[in-house]
Structure 1
Amino acid sequence: MKIIEVANVESAPNPHGVDARKIYDTDNALTVHMTIKPGQSLKKHMTPVDVFFYVLEGEGIVEIGDEKEKVKKDTIIDSPAKVPHTWYNESDKNLRILVVKVPKPKESTRLL
């Protein structure tokens, strides 16, 4: 059994400048715990694989393709491969999400 405490995983540098911690990284899948602070947003990008997001805490705005929606805690959002997407935190509280990529990408995410 492998148990990982998010607080013990270091945040990895990323082009978005947010707290992003790889908490599950195997040959088959990748999961990142991301904290987007008030006023922060991600740069629009595309992933080469399907992604789903699970909102752990807070609320934010997710944009996938031409759709933009306000979402809150305990929501799952599907983001198909190669469709531009981004997140915005316009609230006054942290937005914490799990980012799950399946299968684990073999190519890099592309910033737009």
Structure 2
Amino acid sequence: MIRAPVLFRALCGALCGVLSLVAAGARAAEPPGASSCSGCHALRGEASAGIPPILSKPADEIAAAMLAYRAGEGSPTVMDRIAKGFTEEEIRAIAAWIASRR
């Protein structure tokens, strides 16, 4: 016969394991196009060749910059051409994903 405290602990442990897997899966859901950011931008916080790191930025700031580039605003870089390849929803999803990696 299984004692109630032992069964309770086993169920709690199993539930915690499932919840941690769900949380890890939700955080790891990388939107399409997000991995291309790390080609130029440092995602770990270090600057590279004058290109600013974006990992330390909040999602709203990343999205605003991308939307400005998409609208043709800002200094002429490759970013205006890259940003035009994404919809506003995709840009916001990418920004949220990058900000969640902090």
Q: TM-score, normalised on structure 1?
A: 0.23
Q: In terms of Rg, which structure is larger?
A: 2
Structure scoring higher RCO (CA < 8 A, sep ≥ 6) equals: 1
Q: TM-score, normalised on structure 2?
A: 0.24
